Structure 1
Amino acid sequence: MTQPERILIIRLSSLGDILLATPVIDRARAAWPAARITFLVDRGYADLVRTHPGLDEVVEFDAHGVHRGPGGIAALSEALRPVDLVIDLQHKVRSVLLAMLLKPARRLQLVKRGASEVVRALMGQDSILRAPHQVERYLAVLEGEAPPAPPDFVARPRLKPEPHWLEAAAARLPDAGGPYAALVLGARQRTKLWPARHWEALGRTLQDRGLRPVLVGDPANGIPAGPLAARVGGALPVFENGGLGELAGVLCRCVVVVSPDSGPAHLAAALGVPVVALFGPTSPERWAPRGERTSALTLALPCSPCSNHGSGACPLGTLACLESLSPERVAAEALRLAGWA
């Protein structure tokens, strides 16, 4: 194709997907170094995406405000023109409509399912996707359009934290109180949650080995951090209800992060922080964090994975995939990645 001068990449949500899509930025920059690359993302994630060094511009999508409905999408298309190449990694109604209105010379889009799979999904029988990894699924959108990747291209997310995020985190977690290990307690889907008693045991083990746990709570989607901190003891730091930039700073203060399959696990990996991700109902082949020092722990039970994104309840009623994932095994892996073993 003709060298594009203005490229628009669309991935509106959610945190993990956005981060796993960032290698497309690097791939596009390597392929078309002179192009102006813009990333369109939901406004809640914009500050994080702005830290990516390969972007020229980040545009905030305001789904409930100025970009609401077809009229809002039309206004957004006017503001974004001209665009030569649209890379739609969302491929839902709003992104498809926007790409059509922009009328680029070329439009690339993520194909999530074939026609038969769409019908199965509508009937509640969604096929469980394993390999390839989601990063490869995103990069495959560029196949046949972009020149071959350079030999040193590494397909993993990367972000550079803002200095003020790090400064705020240093005030919250001073050197004298560490070293720290972040325990991420929340996930949007209940079947991704590791049991509270396991977190308690893990916290005590890490404390005994000289690492101070930082409990990263999500009151709406996880285990309450305050009561857990009280049970573990030691006046543990708790981080709740902060912004993503603040969270990034906190994770950067830690020597290791332990998390369920959720956005913060991918955030830690993108920041270069060692991370242990706990997998049960979802596929680590597809969703494992990508980074220099990452580990995806799973029991690989015959019933797992049972879902593409997790669900509200275990189909078997046991949640054995996470109930039986022992805190001893998780602690050993966390200590290994932290260089504490």
Structure 2
Amino acid sequence: MATRSMSPQSSLEHSEAPRESTRSVLLVRPSALGDVCRSVPVLASLGRAFPSARIDWLVQPEFVDAIRAHPTLNEAVDFPRSRFARWWFPPRTFEFLRWVRTFRHRYDLVVDCQGLFRSGLVTRATGAPIRIGDRNAREFAWLGYNRRHVVDGHAHSVDRWLALIASEGIEPIPDTRLYLSDEDRHWHRAQSLGDRYAVIAPTSRWGSKRWPIDRWSKVLPSLADHGIEAVVLVGAPGEQEQTATLRQGSSSSPMSMIDMTGRTTVGQMMSLLNGASIVLSCDSAAMHMTVGFDRPLVALFGPTDPSYVGPYGRPDAVIRAPGATGHVSHRHHDDSTMSRITHTAVIQRVNEVLDAEGSSSR
């Protein structure tokens, strides 16, 4: 597990550090799924710093599975985003404010890793004596904090969030491990996938992050050559159309193709990733989950910068499109950047990863 430099530029606005007597802590990171996974090291660090404290996490209900089995977590507190969509219009405004007030005086320390208006408002509404956040948080979220810190905006997101708590004298623990519930372990065993299967996570909400779907089919023979018996496709609900071409193009492959896209809970998808011999993914939540289970990984990147949002501590897993530099908004680009990644480059990396896995298992 890689450890990185997390020394922040501090702008400390307090007179004392959090004490060991801290009894209740709230981590605010409602979404998105990949960001929730990348915030787990903050949870681990808080657990190490305050071993006797109650540590809760404010998170959207659909992402709870990613963290619910973590041994440090006491309770996942639902953040009902859909219920409060367009909350600034009455009567939802009053309902939202009533909900926010339920957090009053429940926590001694709050860490906001979201840094947006609603998360800042919830943080402020807790009335916690210590409210930690990024001094440069967007949407005026910083107004909700009384411990504001400047962190390196060019650092990996995990390092930025760890830097926030490091500024408070809390030792940053870059522990990305995820945990499965017994229910999800039982579900996985019931799938009877065999000892050697691959997971491919080719989908994304944003077309700019997707590798052309027909190229995935060209990688399948290299998986079969390494004794992979089945390929499992995973993705979010509503992304089945993205995997249809790949599913149809696999008819000549000796491996079975199992399309689980949109058919699993988050916890079930985590169990599939945990059991995989190799995971191939674009910039997605599945990639970050794979890091959390320390599985062999090949991650394809285009407009987004892996040094900023890539697989934490796993730069060796990344293939970035030739000529792609910096971090470009992925919302306004087609797949032209990703299309510069050749199938031969991916096959070569798959061979390297599976050869190394075979050597280590002998």
Structure 1 length as normaliser, TM-score? 0.83
Quote the offset at 1:18 in angstroms: 0.6
Q: Secondary structure at the match of 1:39?
A: strand
> 2:118 corresponds to which residue?
94
> 1:187 corresponds to which residue?
204
Structure 1 337/105 Cα, relative in aligned 2: closer, same or farther at 3 Å? farther
CA distance in 2, matches of 1:325, 1:283: 22
CA distance in 2, matches of 1:74, 1:206: 53
* Matched residue type, 2:266: L
Q: Secondary structure at the match of 1:248?
A: helix
* Matched residue type, 2:175: R
Quote the offset at 1:146 in angstroms: 2.9
Quote the offset at 1:174 in angstroms: 3.3
**Aligned residue among 322, 328, 334 for 1:307:** 328
Residues 267-309 of structure 1, C-alpha deviations (whole Å, 9 max, x = no match): 12112322221111111111121367961222452x434525x
How many equivalent pairs are there? Answer: 319
> 1:168 corresponds to which residue?
187
1:105 aligns with 2:149: no
Q: Secondary structure at the match of 1:206?
A: helix
CA distance in 1, matches of 2:257, 2:111: 44
CA distance in 1, matches of 2:319, 2:312: 14
> 1:229 corresponds to which residue?
247
CA distance in 2, matches of 1:209, 1:173: 20
1:251 aligns with 2:263: no
**Structure 1, unaligned runs of 5 or more:** 116-128
> 1:42 corresponds to which residue?
60
Quote the offset at 1:325 in angstroms: 7.1
Structure 1 204/229 Cα, relative in aligned 2: closer, same or farther at 3 Å? farther
What percentage of aligned pairs have identical amino acids? 25
Q: Secondary structure at the match of 1:237?
A: strand
Q: Assess if the C-alpha contact under 8 Å between 2:204 and 2:284 holds in 1.
A: yes
Structure 1 335/182 Cα, relative in aligned 2: closer, same or farther at 3 Å? same
Q: Assess if the C-alpha contact under 8 Å between 1:12 and 1:42 holds in 2.
A: yes
Structure 1 337/287 Cα, relative in aligned 2: closer, same or farther at 3 Å? farther
**Aligned residue among 45, 50, 68 for 1:27:** 45
Quote the offset at 1:336 in angstroms: 3.9
> 1:239 corresponds to which residue?
260
CA distance in 2, matches of 1:170, 1:192: 32
Q: Assess if the C-alpha contact under 8 Å between 2:304 and 2:326 holds in 1.
A: yes
Quote the offset at 1:173 in angstroms: 3.5
1:205 aligns with 2:222: yes
CA distance in 2, matches of 1:215, 1:5: 43
Q: Secondary structure at the match of 2:318?
A: strand
